[in-house]
Structure 1
Amino acid sequence: MSTNPSDTNENIKTENSSVPVSNKEQNQEESTNVVKSVDAQLSKESSQEAQSEQILEQSIPSSYQVLHQLSNRSTVNFNKSPSMTTSERERPTVKNTSLDYELQTSDDQSTTPINSINQINKAPETEHATSFATNVLSHTKRDLLDTFKIMKLATDVYDTLFIEELKDSISPLLRALAIRQKYMHHSFQSYPSTIENFLTKILQDDDQYQRTSLNVNLPKREESDPPTTTATKVEDPFTKPLLPPMDACVRVEKGTFRVYTLNEQKQWIPAKNKHITIDEFIEDYTLLSKMIIDGPLQSFCHRRLQYLKTKHELHTLLNEVKEWSEAKLASHTDFYNVQKVDTHIHAVASMHQKSLLNFMKKKMEVSSNMQVYKKPNGTILTLKEVFDELKLDINNIDIDQLGVHADRNTFQRFDRFNANYNPVGKMVLREIFMKPTNYIDGVFYAELLKEVIANLEASKYQHAEFRMSIQGKSMNEWDKLAKWFLKNKMHSTNVSYMIQVPRIFTYHRSSGQLKNFQELLTNLFQPLFDATINPESHPDLFRFMLYFSGFDSVDDESKPERSIIACYTVNPDQWNTSENPPYAYYLFYMYTNILALNQLRKSRGLNIYQFRPHCGEAGDVSHLSSAYILAENISHGLVLRESPVLQYLYYLCQIGIAMSPLSNNSLFLSYNQNPFLEYFQRGLCVSLSTDDPLQFHFTQEPLMEEYSIAAQIWKLSSIDMCEIARNSVLMSGYSDEVKKAWLGLHYKEPGIAGNDIRCSNVPNIRIGHRYEVLCEELRLLKLAYHSRQEEDTDVDTF
């Protein structure tokens, strides 16, 4: 079916679209009349995945072909005007939105809703979804034209000035999307369903070049759907029964744990699990490294990012009042009572400085005679004796003397930042008050963290993902941490835990605690595999593993390092020098072992883990290439502003970025130069986090402090902040059950179908805008792909 082209002299038009701003409850009742139409193939996930991977390998240009194309590419001739092929001349010069297509189709077809849906479902691109205008919106389509305005640009997708760069860019971009899809699937990490469907459907024949569907499969809302967020109870770890042991074992092969099972002949055979080799990773990493320095690809991605930012600004100008009107109809919901997750916070610095000082003073009053520290010579000191030996009077210590807050002297000085973790500059006080493993088994540390947790529980709508450290210097670190967690009952509905692994192999190797890098990997992962295979061997660890959600990799990224290309052939058991392995080396061996662990735990019906490293705070942009391939989401991402190619890929894949502007302001980048606002406007999935409240914040609610300063500096609206809060929940490590309670039962659905304004306070207008723009970018890539296929066919025919 053809579309009606508009006047080609009109560069920008506004077209009314159809996201209703009506009574909230009435809108929810109307959506219950949705007719659900799902493609039969999409219902079979396993077969679909296998078929999709096979199609991708056969149809999308291979890594070798893309590398060959990038290597042979010379300078771009900007003076050459690309010729228009027959298919390009036949296409209209005005891009109609998906919403326009829906409305026109509904007018041309029967007015019966069911017949209209059945006709629309015959279109190849809408086999997986029902009509956007018919199902998501209200009954009378033309009554919805006054809802909100969508920009329709006359010279956007089909501008011949950019078509050459677009065609040069399509093969690398498609291959990059397919690479991430492979790594995320193997490790059971998330990958957007919108991109999944795109990679599958782009390879199917499709005559409707003007159509990139905004159709979404809006599940029917039952009356039992929770109208507001409900508290999710966290079970007591002691109530979790231990699973029986399984007939399996693990062996280390070139730095990666491999699972072996017993067959009927009682022989150990490798489990049929997918894995990634270092050679395969280096091939993909090399391709991505070439992509980010390719001239035409950088130009194309830069233009698209600028377009995304400008279009959001235009959307705000046109629809801000209507967004506010829709938000106001959501009763009893505002920014203060939507769920917010601090997606990047270190437990050791989760309290503010005044809280730490008050806690130390309180302990001196009630526990001054308690034995708390054992000296290297074996002498045991009470808390009072420790302060006397340090010649400190707790009553005379103020915030300035405590010295744990970052200031201008820590800018570009990561060494001074680390030193600030020591109260009054004394390491012994840090060991007594801020470590889980010490002479008093971390009792003070647990009490201090419980004060922070109590504040979170009192706020009800604020949550935190505490990072706890495992250094990998010994095998018993895990058991000690698990014992501390269970003994002090550290579980809470408002707190989730992550494990951070410092990249300090150099220090452990120089001190003689480790002989090679493989020992570090063994200390990190062997206890986890053992506890999963035979929970009775590590009962506390088995229960603790149910309460942390992922792994982080932390350290100063600005340190100079060798490229992984120069040293990847060195196996971990051969890395026995004091030189620290490269960032990508750390990330790959953490990823590949998390992959094996996730596959084992998945087979036992247990929870699995995300990989969410610190990345892009400083250092080389290649760190972001590694994380793009291996990580579900990242923390910081400042360096992403230097690479338009990677930034565009992070946008397309909606990779979560937990940003901490106040932390960056004290360490690496001043607040007014922080790219957070630019990322947000362009549509990247960003959230606000605190990093280290002890060093960067002043109040008992550091996350709200972070939001309030960002809102004032960047003039964020309440809707902007609610969208950021929604992003924080989506990228967090909380379980699917918890996210359903916080965001709605259908939060995984793309676009408006996944939004429940009663939970998120984000208007459907905003969600619809984000989804529309993403689909337009995918349409652009699709058109380029088909155009290139036609050219290749013409050349072969000639």
Structure 2
Amino acid sequence: MSATDYHHIVVTDDTAAAGVARSELQPILQKLLTALEIREKYMHRSLQRFPRSTAQVLREVSGRSWTEEQDVQPEFTCYPADVLKALSVEGLPDDLSYGLEMRNGIITLLDSAGNLYTPASLHYPDHSEYTKDLKSVLELISNGPLKTYCNQRLKILSSKFQLHLLVNEKKEFVDLQVASHSDFYNVGKVDTHIHAAACMNQKKLLQFICKTYERDSERVVQEAGGKKTTLRELFQCLKLNPDNLDIDALNMHADRETFQRFDRFNEKYNPVGANELRALYLKTNNYINGEYFATLVKGFSDSLDDSSNQFAELRLSIYGSRPTEWEDLANWFTRQEVCSPKLRWMIQVPRI
């Protein structure tokens, strides 16, 4: 079945339908182009992909020339062996002759002569350029006519799509049956905004806690005030018996009581309400160097390996509580070898 067999919906003048007078349309569209240009600039500087068709339109509107080289973006597909080789610190000198300095609230990299160092492949904006772009974006966000236009346009697009479904849904379903290996289960899927400490489900975490207690009950897992504590002693101190633990006792499910209550939501990351177990099982920096947490993350990545088209984006937090926090997190990542071709990582800085 060819595409010509589909019914096409054409709205002759959807700008008028958006509730904006033609006299107001030109400045509104100019603001939208400004927003797209800012987005394109910062996506390219952070080595992210920008839609090719949108970039071509922006160049046509602005009169800039288009070259194929401008659209080339680096690939970020890595496999464990390549990643481990790239992360290796063998053979590096003790001092790379670089320094860090705070300038205008931004940590800058300096070379051995004390001058600003910028890698040739990256083009960081200076402070004045960034603040200028930020001011432009904030002005766009608070612009009343622009917000009205965008809201109406989204409603029009949604209505056009619903109308398309009404007249073409059955024909598309027939096409899907004809095309092999193109159903939902064969499409690549990425789970985003997953906190690494919540990547496993409650059952897997409970099973892992019970397993480690059976296997490592006499292992030293904590040290406070010069006193070392074994796993068995830790559970005894918390008055917990792993044999009696269940999912309800674990109490890590975000229910209705956590909606709009970040304090309650944050408490759900404590197994059995014990902060000591969170530090042991769900933290990268502890007495056992985050070994248990790494094992849980590896178990999650192994489950993704069973599916050829499922990926995930995990988040780790930097709280700014210690000068060595970045280095400690990097050491955990390389020491425990948690990299996987199915995982990408985000570093988040919580508002607290």
Q: CA deviation at 1:283?
A: 3.7
1:352 aligns with 2:184: no
* Match in the other structure for 1:473: 321
Structure 1 unaligned runs (5+)? 1-20, 23-143, 206-216, 218-230, 505-798
Letter paired with 2:81? E
Q: Contact 1:165 / 1:297 at 8 angstroms: preserved in 2?
A: no
Q: CA deviation at 1:315?
A: 1.6
Q: CA deviation at 1:176?
A: 2.5
For the residues of structure 2 that align with 1:152 and 1:295, how far apart are their CA atoms? 28
For the residues of structure 1 that align with 2:228 and 2:81, how far apart are their CA atoms? 38
Give the match's secondary structure for 1:472.
coil
Q: Contact 1:168 / 1:296 at 8 angstroms: preserved in 2?
A: no
Give the match's secondary structure for 2:8.
strand
For the residues of structure 1 that align with 2:346 and 2:296, how far apart are their CA atoms? 18
1:235 aligns with 2:81: yes
The counterpart of 2:215, out of the listed 366, 369, 391, is 366
* Match in the other structure for 2:9: 151
Q: CA deviation at 1:403?
A: 1.2
Q: CA deviation at 1:250?
A: 5.1
For the residues of structure 2 that align with 1:474 and 1:305, how far apart are their CA atoms? 45
For the residues of structure 2 that align with 1:394 and 1:477, how far apart are their CA atoms? 32
For the residues of structure 2 that align with 1:503 and 1:298, how far apart are their CA atoms? 27
1:253 aligns with 2:111: no
Q: CA deviation at 1:302?
A: 2.1
Structure 1 residues 260 and 317: alpha-carbon distance in aligned structure 2, compared to 1, 3 A threshold: same
Give the match's secondary structure for 1:437.
coil
Q: Contact 2:194 / 2:315 at 8 angstroms: preserved in 1?
A: yes
1:489 aligns with 2:337: yes
Structure 1 residues 283 and 481: alpha-carbon distance in aligned structure 2, compared to 1, 3 A threshold: closer
1:321 aligns with 2:170: yes
Q: CA deviation at 1:418?
A: 0.5
The counterpart of 1:298, out of the listed 128, 133, 147, is 147
Q: Contact 2:281 / 2:290 at 8 angstroms: preserved in 1?
A: yes
Q: CA deviation at 1:236?
A: 5.3
Letter paired with 2:183? D
Structure 2 unaligned runs (5+)? 69-76
Letter paired with 1:417? F
Q: CA deviation at 1:158?
A: 6.6
Structure 1 residues 279 and 337: alpha-carbon distance in aligned structure 2, compared to 1, 3 A threshold: same
For the residues of structure 1 that align with 2:190 and 2:20, how far apart are their CA atoms? 44
The counterpart of 1:443, out of the listed 278, 283, 291, is 291
Letter paired with 1:474? R
Q: CA deviation at 1:370?
A: 1.4
Structure 1 residues 462 and 170: alpha-carbon distance in aligned structure 2, compared to 1, 3 A threshold: closer
Q: Contact 2:84 / 2:337 at 8 angstroms: preserved in 1?
A: no
Q: Contact 2:104 / 2:127 at 8 angstroms: preserved in 1?
A: no
For the residues of structure 2 that align with 1:237 and 1:288, how far apart are their CA atoms? 36
Q: Contact 1:341 / 1:463 at 8 angstroms: preserved in 2?
A: yes
1:749-760 equivalences under 5 Å are none
* Match in the other structure for 1:188: 47
Q: Contact 2:43 / 2:49 at 8 angstroms: preserved in 1?
A: yes
Q: TM-score, normalised by structure 1?
A: 0.38
Structure 1 residues 340 and 248: alpha-carbon distance in aligned structure 2, compared to 1, 3 A threshold: same
For residues 709-733 of structure 1, give each alpha carbon's deviation from its aligned partner in whole angstroms, at most 9, with x where no partner exists.
Answer: xxxxxxxxxxxxxxxxxxxxxxxxx
For the residues of structure 2 that align with 1:478 and 1:285, how far apart are their CA atoms? 27
For residues 422-462 of structure 1, give each alpha carbon's deviation from its aligned partner in whole angstroms, at most 9, with x where no partner exists.
Answer: 11111111111111221112222222222222222223332
Letter paired with 1:234? P
Give the match's secondary structure for 1:202.
helix
For the residues of structure 2 that align with 1:495 and 1:203, how far apart are their CA atoms? 38
The counterpart of 1:501, out of the listed 335, 343, 349, is 349
Letter paired with 2:170? V
Give the match's secondary structure for 2:252.
coil
Q: CA deviation at 1:268?
A: 5.8
1:406-485 equivalences under 5 Å are 406-485=254-333
Identity of aligned residues (%): 39
Q: Contact 1:165 / 1:300 at 8 angstroms: preserved in 2?
A: no
* Match in the other structure for 2:125: 276
Q: CA deviation at 1:233?
A: 4.1
* Match in the other structure for 2:232: 384
For residues 583-606 of structure 1, give each alpha carbon's deviation from its aligned partner in whole angstroms, at most 9, with x where no partner exists.
Answer: xxxxxxxxxxxxxxxxxxxxxxxx
* Match in the other structure for 1:745: none
For the residues of structure 1 that align with 2:20 and 2:258, how far apart are their CA atoms? 48
Give the match's secondary structure for 2:316.
strand
For the residues of structure 2 that align with 1:418 and 1:238, how far apart are their CA atoms? 33
The counterpart of 1:395, out of the listed 243, 252, 257, is 243
For the residues of structure 2 that align with 1:187 and 1:239, how far apart are their CA atoms? 23
